[in-house]
Amino acid sequence: MAPVTIAIDGPAGAGKSTVAKRVAERLNLMYVDTGAMYRAVAYLCAQEGIDVHSERDVEAVLDAHRVSFEEGEDRTLQVLIDGVNVTSKLRAPEVSALVSTVAAHPRVRQLLTEWQRAFAERHSVVMDGRDIGTVVLPHATVKVFLTAAPEERARRRMEEYKRMGYDVALEDMVQTVLERDRKDSERLVAPLRMAEDAVRIDSTDKSVESVVDEIVQLVENAHVR
């Protein structure tokens, strides 16, 4: 039986990671946070003081370190750099500020797309990102485009940073979210867009569980369980 693949795309702060994790738990699938893969590259660049606008320098830092991924005990993706688990460090603001620029480099996207497809070939997965249904897994069993109003996405991201001990103003976070949207949508390689066969879900006024219920129902309707 072919692996079940659920692609959840959408802009920053839409709740993709939270929803994808819950869907994976409900359906007993592996959760693959593709954003964590790009954040691993951004984290390396931040640690090494690399100019993220230079694709050559970004490639060089990738060549100089061993980035690997494994399934954690909770069936989520764990990120290791030179054998050290750095998963908990990947959502710091200084890393987030670099992700869009790093992710726009064609060679970086090509490499990470290969890693993501390899995971989906070996496991039944719930995978979230910005180009999963359009580029990484164009034949996914179920595709969802999860979004929310910019102000709500900014509020969620601000609360996430507060839980990690970072103090960020809501007004600044709204601008950050909008700028991230612009970069992700305008990049030449694999821009953020909704796949033609994806189901759009606006989570602005919905609970996480109600969104999860919708996606689980989509999977059940696809007769894969």
* DSSP 8-class letter at 158: H
Query: Is pLDDT above 90 for 122?
Result: no
129/135 Cα distance (integer angstroms): 11
Query: Is pLDDT above 80 for 136?
Result: yes
Nearest 10 degrees: CA dihedral of 62, 110, 184, 48? 0
Give the pLDDT of residue 223.
Answer: 62
Average pLDDT in the 54-70 region?
91
- pLDDT tens column, 11-28: 988 999 899 999 999 999
Give the pLDDT of residue 102.
Answer: 93
The Cα-based distances of 38 to 60, 96, 125, 206 in angstroms read 15, 10, 18, 28
Give the pLDDT of residue 1.
Answer: 55
Work out the number of other CB atoms within 10 angstroms of the CB of residue 162: 11
- pLDDT tens column, 80-115: 999 999 999 998 889 988 998 998 898 898 988 998
Q: Tokens in use for 95?
A: 């890393």
* DSSP 8-class letter at 135: I
Query: Is pLDDT above 50 for 71?
Result: yes
Q: How confident is the model at residue 64 (pLDDT cuts 50, 70, 90)?
A: very high
Query: Is pLDDT above 60 for 216?
Result: yes
The reported pTM is: 0.81
* DSSP 8-class letter at 136: I
What order of strands is seen across the sheet that includes strand 30-33? Answer: 30-33, 125-129, 5-9, 142-147, 199-202
As a whole number, the mean pLDDT across the chain is: 91
Query: Is pLDDT above 70 for 225?
Result: no
Give the pLDDT of residue 21.
Answer: 93
Query: Is pLDDT above 90 for 72?
Result: no
